[in-house]
Amino acid sequence: MRKHGKVNIVANNLTDNNCTKMVDPKKWSIDPKGSFFYFCANETVHGFEIDFKTFPWEKIPKGMPVVVDASSNIGTKPLPWDKLGVVFFGAQKNFGPSGCTVIIVRDDLFGYAAKDVPVMCDWVTFQGATDTYYNTPAVYPLYVTGLNAAHMNKMGGIPHYDKMAGQRSKIVWSLIDASKGYYRTKVEDKKYRSRCNVIFRIGNGDEGLEAKFIAEAGSVGIKQIKAHPANPAIRLSMYNALPVEGAAHLANFMKDF
């Protein structure tokens, strides 16, 4: 964003409270002349998710378009479409294979691209290309994403996956809360706990024990759970493809460990 315009940081959850909760809206710094208001709906590194129902929408200046990155929780909960101008997401976590990005734009926001914006980001020019495209589309990922979207609708759509996300996260978060401190999470405010990315430490951050946990989990089919290097911990990513039984299997392992 900084390459194409002035960026105003409204709030920084990382520096303010280590991504444990949303910065108090009273501390927000909003430029009333800003072109749009942007936020990420689910932060995967620290396991922080926005609660749309309690989000302070009234703080956003009237008429300012809201842009949301929903890459890691799209398809897991309803979106407040009446409040959003642009929603974009990589399909690879909840919606389809890697190589496909989806952008949903409100009609009245087309046609405002700056002169130096790359063609790929100029929605009107790109979409209006005659009988061709400005790039070679990744046809197979697009096709498979379409198939998966049809499958999701067949399964019951957003209500079905919203319910599953709630069931999976409840199983794991309840176990962590009941572990009497054996498993610890810094996101104590349950309102901001991600349902897609459960991140925790063992004890006070026993790296040796955590390495053992990761290794033994792998032996029972629970893989790729080492957290992002920027936030050493264990990260359990539970996206739409994971059945509730998978979360139960994970919880049983955690109990035994």
Pairing of strands 66-69, 37-40: parallel
Q: CA angle 193-37-199, nearest 5°?
A: 20
For the chain, what is the domain count? 2
pLDDT by residue for the chain (257 residues), tens digit each? 777 778 999 999 989 988 899 999 999 999 999 999 999 999 999 999 999 999 999 999 999 999 999 999 999 999 999 999 999 999 999 999 999 999 999 999 998 888 888 888 888 888 888 777 788 888 999 999 999 999 999 999 999 999 999 999 999 999 999 999 999 999 999 999 999 999 999 988 999 999 999 999 999 999 999 998 888 899 999 999 999 999 999 999 999 99
Domain end call among 125, 154, 183:
154
Look at residue 131 in the predicted model and tell me its pLDDT: 76
Q: Are residues 110 and 189 in the same domain?
A: no
Confirm whether 3 is domain-assigned. Answer: no
**Which residues on neighbouring strands pair with residue 198, listed in sequence order?**
236
pTM of the model: 0.91
Confirm whether 242 is domain-assigned. Answer: yes
Closest CA to 252 of 167, 163, 173, 175: 175
Query: Domain with 195 in it: what CATH number?
Result: 3.90.1150.10
Domain end call among 123, 154, 185:
154
Q: Are residues 127 and 200 in the same domain?
A: no
The CA distances from residue 150 to 7, 102, 147, 237, in Å, are 38, 15, 5, 23
Confirm whether 2 is domain-assigned. Answer: no
Which range marks the domain in which residue 242 is found? 158-256
